[in-house]
Amino acid sequence: MTVKTIDHTTTDKNSPRELDAVIVGAGFAGLYMLHRLRQQGLVARVFEAGDEIGGTWYWNRYPGARCDVESLEYSYQFSEELQQEWEWTERYASQPEILKYINHVADRFDLRRDIQLNTRVVQAAFNVGDARWHIATDAGDAVSAKFCIMATGCLSSTNLPNFDGITDFHGPTYHTGNWPHETIDFSGKRVGIIGTGSSAVQAIPIVADQAAHLTVFQRTPNYSVPAQNMPLDPAIQQAVKADYANVRANNSQMPFAWGARYKLPEDAALAATPAQRQNEYEERWQIGGLPFIGAYSDLLFNQAANDTAAEFIRGKIREIVQDPKVAELLSPRHVVGCKRLCADTHYYATFNRTNVRLVDISADPIERITTAGLRAKGEDFAFDCIIFATGFDAMTGSLAKIDIRGKNNLALKEKWQAGPRTYLGLGTAGFPNFFTISGPGSPSVLTNMLVSIEQHVNWIGACIEHMRRHQFVTIEPTVQAEDAWVEHVNSVADMSLFPTCNSWYLGANLPGKPRVFMPYVGYPPYVEKCNEVVAKGYDGFVLATATATKTEPCPA
Ligand code: NAP
């Protein structure tokens, strides 16, 4: 465990608790933000709740945890030396390898001296008087900063459903999003797992392999395509590295900022014959993973087109799973891609094992957790341990845990009561000098997160530099720009099939969370809009100097 120390040598010697920027979170976003601000000559400090850096890749260390974006793409591009020197070993990197990469980055760029571990930010309040954020932590720190930058991640606040008797169980319980650091050996154990999202789809085959018996409680079946993970071919790695600039540039033109190396979706599924579609889907199935959804351009926009892909996957499930009743229960009926598509290794085949049982709880919710296990569908299940693979309070959960107050003591939680309101997912009206990296209203979780994170960090860095050059003291979105953006985010989502099922994109996985589609659909038009805003002198933002407020366009 790392001992928490504040290295005041990097801060103003006369007033060591006064910083240029506070960054909350030391995952991919926080680390690059720190690096970028330091390069600009700012004094910044990262507060991180964990006892190590890594964010989502620090906490999500369940068996089988692995990225569903290929390692050669799920990596920083800000440093040519970094992307050339790092060697990935697998097509899809495992959680330990990604965490190793993150630690390498922190050491390579000497980031640790401005990161304070074991420290959770509990309050951030903007003071109009000194135009600064006043930040308090659970470790007793009280600092002030000109900028408050939330790098808190989109999937970092775990969702543990409030089951009756949740604390009654006598054995150990685990959450996939907050997994213990020691190895958990399930050998000889009777295990129950609740949930069948991406995390469970990765964990289930491995746990089933170890455990004496595994019972899977499924509320909604999920579409999963084999990841076809394999050791990374050195020739492929070399070829990508030789052409990295183009690979990255091509990906930035893709709707979700990844996958340009695969065949682009030029045609509509409905324009193809059934035989052509079958061939295309089969080819994508063999390629593996998320590129499946790129088979045709209309899959996420036309129900009939989507049905063809859905039926293809259901056909695969029927082929793989020997018991037709189990195959039917595992077959989703919603739109493919509406909940995030899963990428697996032997997921469906795991249900052919004699030590695995699938329990459909779609019509009968879990009644309660008991001392011996849990009760569902009138049956008592006895377990040695229970795994909650029940997901996250996505995109807004970790922000809601902090008491964030803007002008007039307005609480962010209150402002976002009916759903998050931002301009570009970067800032929110009434909260000057407050930035959210991959915030709601930006493409974030629909994209390769690394690409979106770097785009946001670069935008924020350039904005701060612009303010310094022109002596602006604060920046915040106008209410009008924010309202128009929120409406635009929703209308773009409504053109797609994304809002048609109960996904965490919509907040529909949590009882009581407002049902609002949070990410922005479409990376290239989003980036174009961000650039246009800058070109028009931060159009839609209010920039204020110490004496005057500037709402008209200013020099870019
Ligand atoms: P998730 O997709 O939200 O899945 C949670 C699961 O728990 C769902 O099956 C859900 O059922 C179930 N559940 C929730 N509350 C329940 C309740 N009260 N009773 C019974 N079942 C309940 O969460 P996740 O699997 O952790 O994945 C979240 C996201 O993280 C993914 O979509 C992905 O973006 C990311 N992720 C990525 C990877 C990867 O890169 N390969 C791996 C893991 C996670 P319902 O569907 O009915 O709500």
Does residue 554 register a pLDDT over 80? no
201 lines ligand 1 (CB under 6 A): no
106 lines ligand 1 (CB under 6 A): no
| Ligand 1 atom closest to residue 155's alpha carbon, by position in its atom list | 30
Q: Are 55 and 75 in contact (CB under 8 A)?
A: no
> 186: CA distance to ligand 1 center in Å?
21
How many residues in total does the chain contain?
A: 556
pLDDT of residue 251: 95
- Residue whose CA lies nearest to ligand 1 atom number 43: 199
Q: Which of 59, 73, 162, 198 should be mutated for ligand 1, with most atoms under 8 A from CB?
A: 198
Does residue 508 register a pLDDT over 60? yes
> 391: CA distance to ligand 1 center in Å?
4
| Ligand 1 atom closest to residue 390's alpha carbon, by position in its atom list | 7
- Residue whose CA lies nearest to ligand 1 atom number 45: 220
Residue 343, H or E segment: strand 342-344
Does residue 241 register a pLDDT over 70? yes
196 lines ligand 1 (CB under 6 A): yes
291 lines ligand 1 (CB under 6 A): no
Beta strand 44-47 with 115-116 is parallel
Task: Please report the DSSP string for 92-146 in residue order.
Answer: S-BHHHHHHHHHHHHHHTT-GGGEE-S--EEEEEEETTTTEEEEEETTS-EEEEE
Q: What are phi and psi of 314, to 5 degrees?
A: -60, -35
390 lines ligand 1 (CB under 6 A): yes
C-alpha gyration radius of the chain: 24
Does residue 15 register a pLDDT over 60? no
pLDDT, the chain, mean? 94
Reference 371, options 124, 158, 171; nearest CA is: 171
DSSP H helical segments within 271-411, as ranges? Answer: 274-287, 303-320, 324-330, 347-350, 397-400
What six digits make up the tokens of 227? 């990841």
Does residue 534 register a pLDDT over 50? yes
Residue 482, classified by CB atoms within 10 Å of its CB into exposed (0-12), middle (13-18) or buried (19+), is buried
pLDDT of residue 511: 93
Does residue 10 register a pLDDT over 60? no
pLDDT of residue 30: 98
- Alpha-carbon gap, residue 448 to 443, rounded angstroms: 9
Q: Are 474 and 406 in contact (CB under 8 A)?
A: no
Does residue 11 register a pLDDT over 80? no
35 lines ligand 1 (CB under 6 A): no
Residues 6+ apart with CB under 8 A from 525: none
200 lines ligand 1 (CB under 6 A): yes
61 lines ligand 1 (CB under 6 A): no
Q: In this structure, is the dihedral angle defined by the CA atoms of residues 515, 520, 522 and 523, taken in order, positive or negative?
A: negative
DSSP state at residue 233: P
67 lines ligand 1 (CB under 6 A): yes
Residues 6+ apart with CB under 8 A from 188: 211, 212
Mean pLDDT of 268-280: 95
pLDDT of residue 262: 83
> 507: CA distance to ligand 1 center in Å?
12
| Residue pLDDT, tens place only, 126-173 | 999 999 999 999 999 999 999 999 999 999 999 999 999 999 999 999
> 222: CA distance to ligand 1 center in Å?
9
| Residue pLDDT, tens place only, 198-210 | 999 999 999 999 9
| Residue pLDDT, tens place only, 180-190 | 999 999 999 99
Mean pLDDT of 374-400: 97
- Helix axes 449-469 and 28-39, enclosed angle (nearest 10): 30
Q: Are 280 and 296 in contact (CB under 8 A)?
A: yes
> 310: CA distance to ligand 1 center in Å?
19
> 389: CA distance to ligand 1 center in Å?
6
68 lines ligand 1 (CB under 6 A): yes
Q: What is the largest CA-CA distance in the chain?
A: 74
- From residue 453, alpha-carbon distances to 14, 150, 395, 443 in Å are 34, 12, 14, 10
- Residue whose CA lies nearest to ligand 1 atom number 4: 197
pLDDT of residue 19: 97
389 lines ligand 1 (CB under 6 A): yes
Q: Which of 204, 390, 450, 452 should be mutated for ligand 1, with most atoms under 8 A from CB?
A: 390
Which residue, chain included where needed, has tokens 């939680």? 413
**12: number of Cβ within 10 Å:** 12
Q: To the nearest 5 percent, what fractions of the chain are helix, strand and coil?
A: 35, 20, 45
Does residue 555 register a pLDDT over 70? no
366 lines ligand 1 (CB under 6 A): yes
> 291: CA distance to ligand 1 center in Å?
20
- Alpha-carbon gap, residue 415 to 427, rounded angstroms: 13
92 lines ligand 1 (CB under 6 A): no
> 503: CA distance to ligand 1 center in Å?
9
Q: Which amino acid is at 227?
A: A
Q: Is 219 or 259 the better-scoring residue by pLDDT?
A: 219
DSSP state at residue 21: E
397 lines ligand 1 (CB under 6 A): no
| Ligand 1 atom closest to residue 60's alpha carbon, by position in its atom list | 43
Burial 23-41 (b: 16+ CB within 10 A, else e): bbbbbbbbbbbbbbbbeee
- Alpha-carbon gap, residue 270 to 41, rounded angstroms: 54
Query: 548 pLDDT band (50/70/90 cuts)?
Result: low
Residues 6+ apart with CB under 8 A from 326: 351, 358
Reference 145, options 29, 55, 49, 42; nearest CA is: 42
pLDDT of residue 263: 74
> 339: CA distance to ligand 1 center in Å?
9
504 lines ligand 1 (CB under 6 A): yes
